Amino acid sequence: MADLPSNRDSFGSKFGVIAATAGSAIGLGNIWRFPYVAGENGGAAFIIMYLGFIVAIGIPVMLSEFTIGRSAQKNAFGSFRKLAPRRPWYLIGLMGVVAAFMILAFYTAVAGWTLEYIYQSVINGFASKSPEQLSGMYDSFIGGTWRPLLWFFVFMGLTAAIIMAGVQKGIEKYTKILMPVLLILLLALVIRSVTLPGAEKGIAFLFQPDFSKITPSTVLEALGQAFFSLSIGMGTLITYSSYIQKNDNLGTTAFSVAFADTFIAIMAGLAIFPAVFAFGIEPGSGEGLVYITLPNIFQQMPGGYFFSLMFFVLLGVAALTSTISVLEVIVAFFVEELNLKRKAATWLATSSVSVLGIMCVLSSSSMSDFTIFGFTVFGLMDFASANILLPLGGLFIVLFVAWFLGRDKVKIELSNNGSLKAGYIPLFMFIIKFIAPLAIAFIFLQGVGLINF
């Protein structure tokens, strides 16, 4: 394995690092997945746990990934090999690459839906439709074969094109402009949604916790959602931080990204739930929630045509800045471990992911009866990555940093340039040695039913 730092890509600016990392974190996980998972798992009580996990577990895992990636300057697998030669820690990296395959497959399927909805916005396809009709429109779209497949491939192609061109050119530039626009649009939607007649019930659903809804599996869902939303537990941030310059501040990056990600998720909840209750949609209605609710709001807004168009374009962009980060995990692995050229690695990665992706797309039509452990392929990829692979990955990542790399390495990466005050290092070490791993292990074992307290 050659050391290639000199011809490795790196991010150009501090803001570029934040834009790319926040671009990875903010995506369908916040706007599509968070509202329906929260809806299915009891609303406010779920959200409170979610917030606790972001702070107590998410940020420490993120800082641990940054420590690994920036000190090794390698892909997720190679980083472990470099830092722990001839030891089995590289298996964590391998598990991350597997998780990347699974996530990219179902995530790109959903990202493709945004393209259909952009198209529908352009032709004014939502106009004067009732909530039932909009829900029927969604069902017949995802129940089809060719359209969802077409959009899947278009989205995969866009992701591949950006990755082939290198990481930061273009994407750094776009995310810097588009992320703020997404925020403004989301704020406009929130205002429309909370002022609809009947919105109070949605607000209550979001902010009045009913702790009787909490079960071990909802706790694991909240943890899985926190990992998924922050893009942690599978080496995406190891890969990205391997492109971060040595004098960049990893502490502020982690806090800013976690804050932005959480803020966008809560805003999405405020845009969706008041409208869900106002239009009599079921809060637990699953993957279609956002795609059915939002067109209902757009119809009721002055200028809804433009808002709808802009919103789905931006949702697509938010998804794209996430898909590229997932694809980069696989491509960096192929380039550095199989010695492939970037272009060949991208082809290999996208074509192999597409096989799984096609099955995910067809999970709502011809393959809906094909189930494994009671899940469709789509459902399995989603559940197994978010609720199993990411928490396990996160567990081993913190253990690796805490017990193998140790405090000195952590200090070099996290505090020598003033990012995390040296006084916080013992606290951080304590969290990643004991609190985070015990909490993850407990929630995981309890959530999958292996222990029962």
In angstroms, the CA 384 to CA 387 distance is 6
Residue 130 CB: number of other CB atoms within 10 A? 11
The CA–CA distances, whole Å, from 360 to 105, 136, 145, 367 equal 7, 20, 11, 9
Nearer to ligand PFF, 103 or 270 (CB): 103
Q: Does 264 bind ligand PFF (CB under 6 A)?
A: no
Q: Does 325 bind ligand PFF (CB under 6 A)?
A: yes
Residues 233-252 that bind ligand PFF (CB under 6 A): 234, 236
Q: Does 106 bind ligand PFF (CB under 6 A)?
A: no
Q: Does 387 bind ligand PFF (CB under 6 A)?
A: no
The CA–CA distances, whole Å, from 124 to 118, 129, 131, 138, 295 equal 10, 11, 16, 15, 10
Q: Which two tokens stand for residue 298?
A: 């757009």
Among 242, 331, 256, which Cα is nearest to 26's?
Answer: 256
Q: Does 405 bind ligand PFF (CB under 6 A)?
A: no
Give residue for tokens 């001839």. 86
Which one of the spans 86-94, 177-185, 226-234, 251-259 is the region binding ligand PFF (CB under 6 A)? 226-234
Q: Does 295 bind ligand PFF (CB under 6 A)?
A: no
Q: Find the Cα–Cα–Cα–Cα dihedral 241, 243, 245, 251, rounded to 10°.
A: -20
Among 102, 62, 24, 69, which Cα is nearest to 388's?
Answer: 102
Residue closest to ligand PFF when measured from CB atoms: 29
Q: Residue type for 289, please?
A: L
Nearer to ligand PFF, 281 or 389 (CB): 389
Which one of the spans 27-35, 55-63, 197-205, 288-296 is the region binding ligand PFF (CB under 6 A)? 27-35
Q: How many residues bind ligand PFF (CB under 6 A)?
A: 15
- Cβ 438 to ligand PFF shortest distance, Å: 24
- Cβ 321 to ligand PFF shortest distance, Å: 9
- Cβ 234 to ligand PFF shortest distance, Å: 5
Q: Which of 103, 226, 292, 330 binds ligand PFF (CB under 6 A)?
A: 103
Q: Does 25 bind ligand PFF (CB under 6 A)?
A: yes
Nearer to ligand PFF, 137 or 257 (CB): 257
DSSP letter (8 states) at residue 301: S
Residue 98 CB: number of other CB atoms within 10 A? 16
Q: Which two tokens stand for residue 187?
A: 């704020």
Q: Which of 134, 186, 326, 397 binds ligand PFF (CB under 6 A)?
A: 326
Q: Which residues bind ligand PFF (CB under 6 A)?
A: 24-25, 27-30, 103, 228-229, 231, 234, 236, 322, 325-326
